[in-house]
Amino acid sequence: MEAIKNIILIDDDEAIYHTIRIVLGKPEYDLVYFKDTVSAMQHLKKTRSKIDLIILDIMMPDQSGLEFLDALGNRKSTIPVIVISAINTARAAVEAIKKGASDYLTKPFTLDDIKGMIRTHLKTPESTKAAK
């Protein structure tokens, strides 16, 4: 049996949480949801669980996702981060990648798009089979 994958979702839009929950749809994923980056960072600092993936919105009410990426970088984090944003510019994507994001996806996105990115960054057996 494969270990449970721990995923953190940081987005102030609760509809995104429900979308990601549908995309994952399996009990081998533990999805922890935060509506702000400050709470998410506090969780990261105190959790003893290995975090396998972070899904992060850029436009947040307390601090931006880019500031969160800076804080992760300061902690020398190696957790892959998929940035999701309504900002559909190359400049925003490049800035996110420079700050440590592993991938960038613009909203609205398809379920297949986000599912593919999640599988790629978690390196699930399904994504390995699809690559062959």
How confident is residue 44, by pLDDT bands cut at 50, 70 and 90?
very high
How confident is residue 2, by pLDDT bands cut at 50, 70 and 90?
low
**Which residue segment(s) compose the domain that 122 sits in?**
5-131
CA distances from 58 to 9, 22, 82, 85, 97 (A): 12, 22, 10, 6, 12
Residue 76 has pLDDT above 80, yes or no: yes
CATH number at residue 83: 3.40.50.2300
DSSP-derived secondary structure letter, 80:
-
HSE-CB of 124 using CA atoms within 13 angstroms: 20
pLDDT at 124: 52
pLDDT at 28: 83
When pLDDT is averaged across residues 4-14 and rounded to a whole number, the result is: 94
When pLDDT is averaged across residues 106-130 and rounded to a whole number, the result is: 77
pTM above 0.95, yes or no: no
pLDDT at 65: 93
